[in-house]
Chain A
Amino acid sequence: MNIIEVSKLHKKYKSLTAVENVTLEVGEKEIFGFLGPNGAGKSTTIKMLATLIKPTAGTAFIGGFDIEKKPHRVRQSIGLVFQENTLDDRLTAAENLYFHGMLYNLERRAMTDRMAEVLDMVELADRKNALVKTFSGGMKRRLEIARGLIHYPRVLFLDEPTIGLDPQTRNRIWDYLHHLRLRENITVFMTTHYMDEAENCNRIAIIDHGSIVALDTPVNLKKMVGGELITLHSPHRSEVKRIIGQTFGLAVSETEEYLQLEVESGEAFIPSLAGSLKGLISSISLRKPTLDDVFIKLTGRDIREEAADSWGTMRAHMRGRGHQ
């Protein structure tokens, strides 16, 4: 049996379907990424798996435990790192860990060793007795990851673990996660809306409007885009589209900023493309597809365009149901 088995999970609020028909399996020691714009249903799914909210329909098992029938067994076998800081910043790092260990019923004596171990993993051993309010954002995040691990969970859930952190700190968090997974034999289930970060995952589910639209390895997902991408900037868009359609029989996708087409081998294609569009374009660029492109292909939108918009709707939504 897989460590996480989710089947046809649904979550409906009065007028809104937050999660629809989510089915997925995660194998042991996998890093599984849940990718999608804000408000797509990522956090709601994690909350259901962590037994914080009840699904409207469907089933899920974590480590063989049913999330609805054995919530406490599920809770004991997972570690959770939330989007927002949930440390008590008036307590020291060690106290935060100790409290967590007690809540998860660890033996007091075993806990001392374990605390030293997890603090060491995230390189905070020297700050053990410092108040958390003196920590930087990255240090707090690392401490939360350490805390999530202290009770030997089998799955570590991370909800946007690197949100609000600078790129350098983000990379460091990722180093820790890779390292921890090997050392602790742990499965990592994480959400993110940073496409570049999702590359760190073994497999990715792309979620949009509550449903999974694709689920595969990053390499395979990128293959969906096919070949390479040519981006054109042009003041004469419709003309350019017409010529490419007629001359090469290729479909052109359009965003607010640019036109884009997929080709097998870009370097060989550009000379003839440029030749036929003489005077109509201001720039041409060629690149390998990224997960962003996969997302655009699957949903017709850019994940970054979504961000601004869906924050607004999500906040309104949260107010509506009174802070989940």
Chain B
Amino acid sequence: MRAAKAIYIIWLRDVIRFYREKPRILGMLGQPLLYLLIIGNGLSYSFRMASAPQSFNYLEFMYPGIIGMSVLFTSVFSAISIVWDREFGFLKEVLVAPVPRWSVAIGKALGGSTIALLQAAILLLLAPVIGIKLGLVVVLKLLGMLFLIAFSLTSLGITVASRMETMEGFQIVMNFLVLPLFFLSGAMFPMKGMPPWLETLMRLDPLTYGVDALRNIMFADSPAREFMVQFPLSTDLAVVAAMSLAFITAGTLAFNRSE
């Protein structure tokens, strides 16, 4: 009961803070929109993938990838706010309370995932603009999947953040963790037809399976499905679920040890 209350309160704090910072919501939506509108349109008009079927539309292909990107950035940055809290004290107040450490880590993971999910939900509203029709069931499936992806990525962020002393490490995390995860995820280009070394790296990126799962759900009935999707949905789901479990365990352990 105590732990449940702690999880709830840590989660609630993140949500309230997010809600209060409306400029941050806009700022965080700005990046995916830029990618989608500028890079998405630019690439879609400049290049035509040789192996792609007639019905293939690059913008449609990229759309789930950009949602994945938004989830990735939001999740990792929410988790890294732990470092901020540590520098400015609030974390102390939580860590001296008579609640288990793991409940703090889980509350934080849920808080970050909720925010990432809200961002992703806003991006899903753009589907008609891109030209994708989503039924209610598909939207619910997507939201469930997105939450699982967000949870695993926030947990990964917590694992990293619990080892970070100051915000100075932020650039390193950005360049050596977040951007590679994004670029290798297949968000911008399909894995099929890549050179073996690149394909191997892409297969190792956990986000690849997250983005693929989104495509699996979103393009279940699309004629270009075969080209857009790399793995069966069950494989994607298994990998993302395993990743959630692994990262939340790692995050909780790292958080227990840190101070």
Contacts and interface: CB of A to CB of B under 8 A. Distances in A.
B95 A52 contact: yes
Given A88-B13, A324-B259, A76 B89 contact: no
Nearest to A90: B17
Contacts of A85: 88-89
B92 A323 contact: no
A102 interface: yes
A105 B5 contact: yes
Contacts of B8: 102
A99 B96 contact: no
A104 B20 contact: no
Contacts of B2: 105
B96 A91 contact: no
Contacts of A190: none
Given A82-B89, A86-B89, A88-B90, A104 B13 contact: no
B15 to A, nearest CB: 11
Interface residues of A, number: 28
A82 B20 contact: no
Interface in A62-119: 71-73, 75-76, 80, 82, 84-88, 90-91, 95, 99-100, 102-105
Interface of B: 1-2, 5-6, 8-9, 12-13, 16-17, 20-21, 86, 88-90, 92-99, 165, 259
Interface of A: 50-52, 71-73, 75-76, 80, 82, 84-88, 90-91, 95, 99-100, 102-105, 147, 322-324
8 nearest A-B pairs in the assembled complex, by CB-CB distance: A86-B89, A103-B97, A75-B98, A72-B98, A86-B93, A102-B9, A76-B98, A88-B90
**Main secondary structure on A side of the interface with B:** loop
Contacts of B165: 322-323
A323 B86 contact: yes
Nearest to B258: A322
15 contacts: A51-B96, A75-B96, A75-B97, A75-B98, A80-B96, A82-B93, A86-B90, A87-B93, A91-B13, A100-B97, A102-B5, A103-B99, A105-B1, A323-B86, A324-B259
B72 to A, nearest CB: 24
Given A86-B90, A324-B259, A50 B96 contact: yes
A90 B98 contact: no
B2 to A, nearest CB: 5
A87 B13 CA distance: 12
A91 B16 contact: yes
Q: Which of A51, A84, A86, A147 has the most CB of B within 10 A?
A: A86
Given A90-B17, A90-B20, A91-B13, A104 B93 contact: no
A158 to B, nearest CB: 13
A279 B1 CA distance: 79
Nearest to A75: B98
Contacts of B92: 82, 86
